[in-house]
Chains A and B, each alone.
Chain A
Amino acid sequence: MQMRVLKDVHRIVERRELAPRVMLYRVVAPLVATARKAGQFVIVRVEEGGERIPLTIADADAEAGTITLVVQEVGKTTARMARLREGDAFVDVAGPLGAATHISKVGTVACIGGGIGIAPVHPIAQSMRAAGNRVIGILAARNRDLLFFREEMRRACDEVRVWTDDGSEGKKGLATDALRELVADFGKVDRAVAIGPVPMMKFVAKTGHELGIPTLVSLNPVMVDGTGMCGGCRVTVGGKTRFVCVDGPEFEGHEVDFDELSRRQALYREEERASHDRYMKEVQS
Chain B
Amino acid sequence: MSDNGTPRDLKQRYKTPKQEMPCQPAEVRARNFTEVALGLLGDNAKLESYRCIYCKEPACVSGCPVGVDIPGFLHEVEKGDLAGAARVLKRTNLLPAVCGRVCPQEEQCEAVCKVGQGKNGVAVSIGRLERFVADWERNSGMAQAPEIAAPTGKKVAVVGSGPAGLTCAADLARCGHKVTVFEALHKAGGVLVYGIPEFRLPKAIVAAEIKALEAMGVEIVCNFVVGLTRTVDDLMKEYDAIFVGTGAGLPYFMDLPGENLGGIYSANEYLTRVNLMGAYDFPKNDTPVIRGRRVAVVGGGNVAMDAARTALRLGAEEVRLIYRRSREEMPARKEEVEHAHEEGVNFTMLTNPLRYHGDERGRVSAVECVKMELGEPGPDGRRKPVEVKGSEHKIPVDTVVVAIGNGPNPLVPRTTPGLETKKGKILARDESGKTSLRGVFAGGDIVLGAATVILAMGAGRKAAKGVDEYLRTGAW
Residues of A within 8 A of B (CB): 1, 3, 6-7, 31-32, 35, 40, 43, 45, 49-52, 76-77, 91-97, 224-225, 227-232, 234-236, 241, 246, 259-260, 263-264, 266-268, 271-272, 274-275, 278
Contacts and interface: CB of A to CB of B under 8 A. Distances in A.
Contact of A236 (B184, B260, B265): B260
A36 to B, nearest CB: 9
A96 to B, nearest CB: 6
Given A241-B260, A275-B282, A92 B362 contact: no
A29 B186 CA distance: 15
Contacts of B410: 228, 246
Contacts of B219: 3, 6
B351 interface: no
Interface string B224-264: 11001110000000100000000001110101000110110
Contact of A231 (B229, B266, B286, B411): B266
Given A3-B219, A224-B272, 19 more contacts: A51-B277, A92-B186, A95-B223, A95-B229, A97-B228, A224-B273, A227-B185, A228-B250, A229-B251, A229-B268, A229-B272, A230-B272, A231-B253, A231-B269, A235-B260, A241-B259, A264-B260, A264-B262, A267-B263
A91 B223 CA distance: 10
A259 B221 CA distance: 39
Contacts of A52: 186, 277, 287
A77 B343 CA distance: 36
Interface residues of B, number: 45
B222 interface: yes
Contacts, number: 131
Interface of B: 180, 184-186, 219, 221-225, 228-230, 238, 249-251, 253, 255, 259-260, 262-263, 265-266, 268-269, 272-273, 277-278, 282-288, 290, 361-363, 409-411
B251 A231 contact: yes
A95 B229 CA distance: 6
Given A76-B286, A225-B184, A230-B251, A6 B263 contact: no
**Chain A: interface secondary structure?**
mixed
Contact of B409 (A40, A76, A229, A266): A229
B249 A97 contact: no
B411 A234 contact: no
A49 B229 contact: no
A80 B283 CA distance: 14
Count chain A CB atoms within 10 A of each CB in B180, B277, B284 and give the residue with the most. B277
A31 B224 contact: yes
Contacts of B224: 6, 31, 94
A115 B153 CA distance: 53
Contacts of B259: 241
Contacts of A236: 260
Contacts of B221: 6-7
A268 B255 CA distance: 24
A228 B249 contact: yes
Contacts of A224: 269, 272-273, 277, 287
Given A52-B277, A77-B286, A230 B180 contact: no
